[in-house]
Structure 1
Amino acid sequence: MPAIEARGLRKRYGDTTAVDGLDLTVETGEIFGILGRNGAGKSTTVEIIAGLRRPDAGEVTVLGLDPWKDRARLRQVLGVQLQETAVHAALQVRELVRLHRSFHRDGADPDELIERVGLTASAKKRFEHLSGGQQQRLSIALALVGKPRAVILDELTTGLDPEARRQMWATVEELRDEGTTIVLVSHNMDEVRRLCDHVAILDRGRVVAVDKPAGLIEAAGTDQDDAGESEAFEAAFFALTGSKLEGEEPR
């Protein structure tokens, strides 16, 4: 059974169609990338998968559970890191991680997890005093504190410096090696190309292609011999969507 399966998802906001008949299959134990420009439907799609938003049509199962009907059970097995983290601003990093650990029957050791995301030196800092990059690391720790079988990471490395970004990539690869299924939502082509086993490219609320990064390059007819791997992947994205990601901020 796939870890995540979505069929015919649709979601409209007034006159705007955010998700338009979307199908996805994420296999157990893989890193699955969702790549698209602003407004492609990435965030709405993962919010539906996480049970945070109800689709107008379509069906989703996550680890055999319905995200809307089985939300309480899903929270025990699915970790979610979204672009905006809503926490008590006056609590310290260690306090927040321990608090979220208490919501789960099983989970990670808070101090070990804080160290894993590089926040040991900031463990006694209040959330309101953290930098943007530190807040991002904390949101990742909170997504992982329940030792989830699957995790959604939405714009994983936004706000991180290059060294912290590489460290976070290594953490994601370790999670995959430990058997965790990861959905990685990104507008960073290098991140997706390096980490993902398969990538779905979204455009106007639809999946326009799903394959391994190398397969997307080949299917688009991009000649990698004449360009580096990153440039070839960018060319493949442009060939499939008619647009570029460069210079855009995450939605």
Structure 2
Amino acid sequence: MSVVERNNVRLLGPESAPAMVFSHGFGCDQNMWRFVAPRFAGDHRIVLFDHVGHGGSDLSAYDPRRYASLGGYAEDLLQILAELDLRDVVFVGHSVSAMIGMLAAIDEPGRFRRLVLVGPSPRYLDDDGYRGGFSRSEIDELLDSLDSNYLGWSSAMAPVVMGNAGRTELAEELTNSFCRTDPAIARQFAEVTFRSDNRADLPRVGVPALILQCSEDVIAPVEVGEYVRDNLPGSSLVVLQATGHCPNLSAPDETYEAIRAFLRDG
């Protein structure tokens, strides 16, 4: 099976144009970029894909050992770029995919021209002198609830993640997306995501990066965006007026304009 088939790769825009790769976050799929990615298709080759275990990917390709760390997902990303023969790409990663793209750029910097990190967090767990947003007990409780009642967890967590109380349709979409993900795969991906610590990797990135942080986000507080900016060489931080953790859905116009300005300035 080709990597393109394994990860349900979809291509938009002119074949000869510079490439932009969009990568989704936990419990989601490429559909989460539908309000943003196509708007770049006039002058970019758009690459959309699903992480193994999500969306239209090949579930039989899921290997708990390979995906026991974010490195397995970063390797997938590099395989997609290699199979499509892409270099100097603009990578746009949401949430945990921001770290996945960052790890891939460390391993093969020549594949990347710029990084756009939407709601990134190098560590979700609070530490001495560092606010990640979650205590150890909160992470433990989150993972326990995934074990005991995944559908109930999805219904309760989606509105918190989305963070737009007056727009129930957004929370419903995220709930449905969570519920389409295999519970066992979601549980392991959550463990890998929320227990990861990539702070030491930030200084190793040699690709210019834009950090997009929402003004109110319980998953990745503004302090996290500031930490990434201060420790990621050549990066800039834009705090959006948007709230919640998914501005690609809740504020696609603002998200698009911020990314477009970053590309224009480069």
**What TM-score does the superposition give when structure 2 sets the normalisation length?**
0.27
Task: Please say which structure displays the higher CA radius of gyration.
Answer: 1
Q: Give the TM-score of the pair, scaled to structure 1.
A: 0.28
